[in-house]
Amino acid sequence: MTRAAGIDVGGTKFLGVVLDDQGNVLVELRRPTPKGSEALISGLVDFARELAAHDSVGYDTLGVGVPGLVTSEGVIRASPNLVGAFDLLVGPLLIEALGHPVSVDNDATCAALAEWQLGAGRGFADLIVVTLGTGIGGGLILGGRLQRGTNGFAGEFGHMVVQPDGPLCPCGRRGCWERFASGRGLQMLAGGRRGEDVVAAARSGDREMLAVIDEFARWVALGLVNLTNIVDPACIVLGGGLSADHDLFLPLIGREFASLLYSPEHRRHPELRFAALGERAGAVGAALLPTTHH
């Protein structure tokens, strides 16, 4: 039996898994994300070794998902959520330290791979996965293949500019989609209230917060419509924190999507689904990387 390990590097934690041949999780570990580039690499090396030694399960292959612009060689060119991670040689340094191949890719691309292979996007040849978290990332599957683009940077959906004079984004530009349609975007639209508080108030009938949810749903739908007009997917899978409240968000997003889509009455609309793998998606997708990585 082949065992595949995957590590998802988040802003606050590492999440690691080891999968069997059927995609079942044999091992799951979490550790805080170290601060600083050197500490990040040494922490990843230690974490990989811990995964390998855990319950004597071990692993045969290793993949790592990291946030930001990641080249096919596993180099982070830039990452707004990892301080100081510019031109960081994650892949080469891990390979040198561990002494075996390591596949490295963008964390949201990993999540997309997992949802396509084992989750809500299973069976679709043309699929968009959008992760609505602190920011927005995602991945594209077209013609039954994971698309990475010329430099490996495909799927940075959150940095579509939807309002040129909008609020400043951590990327340095104004009006990026993730300023309005991410978890932080919901908080901004609600005047600083936490997302969970906005949802709770909306569920209790608070008209002001219901209006905020409506506005948020329209911003989400706007970006999804732009993506649909570009690639015409059969399905769109939404991941991230909204999944826990899909019954509240999905009907509103679907309604706004239908109202904004180009020529909606003359086409089949993509199926809108929420992700199935939860917070494990990035780590599971990282474990699947060695079978798909170029």
Both 196 and 267 in one domain: the answer is: yes
Looking at the domain assignment, is residue 115 inside a domain?
no
Domain housing 12: 4-110+280-291
Give Cβ neighbours of residue 232 (< 8 Å, ≥ 6 apart). 126, 270
Looking at the domain assignment, is residue 128 inside a domain?
yes
* pLDDT value for 293: 59
Quote the longest CA-to-CA distance of the chain: 58
CATH number at residue 166: 3.30.420.40
Both 221 and 262 in one domain: the answer is: yes
Both 98 and 19 in one domain: the answer is: yes
* pLDDT value for 262: 93
Q: What angle do CA 77, 80, 84 make, to 5 degrees?
A: 65
* pLDDT value for 79: 81
Looking at the domain assignment, is residue 249 inside a domain?
yes
* pLDDT value for 259: 95
pLDDT > 90: percent of the chain: 83
Both 126 and 271 in one domain: the answer is: yes
Please name which of 127, 144, 41 lies closest in space to residue 84, comparing C-alpha atoms: 41
Both 131 and 62 in one domain: the answer is: no
Both 150 and 270 in one domain: the answer is: yes
What sections of the chain are H helices per DSSP? Answer: 37-53, 90-98, 107-118, 178-181, 183-189, 195-203, 207-231, 246-260, 281-288
> Mean pLDDT, to the nearest integer, of 4-11?
94
* pLDDT value for 243: 78
Give Cβ neighbours of residue 182 (< 8 Å, ≥ 6 apart). 132, 133, 134, 135, 136, 158, 240
Cα(158)–Cα(71) distance, integer angstroms: 18
**Where residue 56 falls among pLDDT bands split at 50, 70, 90?**
confident
Looking at the domain assignment, is residue 89 inside a domain?
yes
**Where residue 294 falls among pLDDT bands split at 50, 70, 90?**
low
Query: Per-residue pLDDT tens for 95-119?
Result: 999 999 999 999 999 999 999 999 9
Looking at the domain assignment, is residue 116 inside a domain?
no
Give Cβ neighbours of residue 38 (< 8 Å, ≥ 6 apart). none
Both 21 and 148 in one domain: the answer is: no
Both 21 and 142 in one domain: the answer is: no
Whether residue 63 is predicted with pLDDT greater than 80 in this model: the reply is yes
Question: Considering only 6-15, 76-85, 217-226, which range has the smallest mean pLDDT?
Answer: 76-85
Both 10 and 74 in one domain: the answer is: yes
Query: Per-residue pLDDT tens for 222-280?
Result: 999 999 999 999 999 999 877 788 899 999 999 999 999 999 999 999 999 999 999 99
Q: Is the separation of the CB atoms in 287 and 20 below 8 Å? A: no
Both 285 and 145 in one domain: the answer is: no
Q: What is the mean pLDDT of the chain?
A: 93
Q: Is the separation of the CB atoms in 91 and 52 below 8 Å? A: no
Residue 26 identity (one-letter amino acid): L
* pLDDT value for 66: 94
State how many domains the chain has.
2
Query: Per-residue pLDDT tens for 124-149?
Result: 999 999 999 888 999 999 999 999 99
Looking at the domain assignment, is residue 250 inside a domain?
yes
Both 176 and 250 in one domain: the answer is: yes
Looking at the domain assignment, is residue 252 inside a domain?
yes
Both 286 and 227 in one domain: the answer is: no
Looking at the domain assignment, is residue 117 inside a domain?
no
